[in-house]
Amino acid sequence: MSYKIKNELRVAISGKSGCGNTTVSTMLAEALKIKLINYTFRQLAAEKGLTLAQVIENAKTDDSYDQYVDNHQVELARAENCVLGSRLAIWMLKEADFKVYLFASDEVRAKRILEREGGDLEEIKNFTAMRDSEDSRRYKKLYNIDNNQYDFVDLFVDTSKYNPEEIVKLILDELKKKNLIIE
């Protein structure tokens, strides 16, 4: 299937760890034949000649790491048609043409992370809960964003009910309904 973008198109997709954000964002960008933007600490580390562990450690006491990554993603997204997939995409890219929030229960997310990375389910649940709490605290502190408040999105998807291909189809169908793309 081939899609044509009517004018410009910027799709912002957010969700917590284990929701399928990266998978869905990648597949949607491929389907639309537009750029995927998912700039992370990993890319920042490569650019700065640091290890990922060093960047993560530095970011614990220096907010400029988070701010650079978040702001750089938005700058990149504003430059061209794209899918911006990040935890804060729907809040940071205010002018996005279409905003999607991917949701999954804590249990589902922990099981997906276990499948992807291995380990112990209880440890993953505890780590994910800690990470969610830390992320929420940081987003509130840095940007006054409540990442549990997403009722403004164009599409909310419980990812436990669909596989990634079905989620991409849901998004594409909504983009067609809004006349943002045509087949």
Closest CA to 171 of 65, 49, 23, 72: 23
Q: Does the pLDDT of residue 59 top 90, yes or no?
A: no
Q: Which residue has the tokens 């043409």?
A: 97
> Does 16 have pLDDT greater than 90?
yes
pLDDT value at residue 46: 93
Fold (CATH) for 4-39+77-177:
Rossmann fold (3.40.50)
Domain ranges of the chain: 4-39+77-177
Greater confidence (28 vs 55) lies with 28
Q: Are 12 and 96 in contact (CB under 8 A)?
A: yes
Q: In this predicted structure, what is the pLDDT of residue 1?
A: 76
What does the pLDDT read at residue 157? 98
Res 154 pLDDT > 80? yes
Contact assessment for residue 41 and residue 56, using Cβ atoms and an 8 Å cutoff? yes
| pLDDT tens per residue across span 98-120 | 999 999 999 999 999 899 889 99
How far apart are alpha carbons 175 and 98 in whole angstroms?
Answer: 8
- Pair of tokens at residue 8: 């410009």
Pinpoint the alpha helices (H) of 33-155.
41-48, 52-59, 64-79, 89-92, 106-117, 121-143
Instruction: Summarize pLDDT for 34-53 with one digit per residue, the tens.
Output: 999 998 888 999 999 998 77
Cα Rg of the chain, angstroms: 16
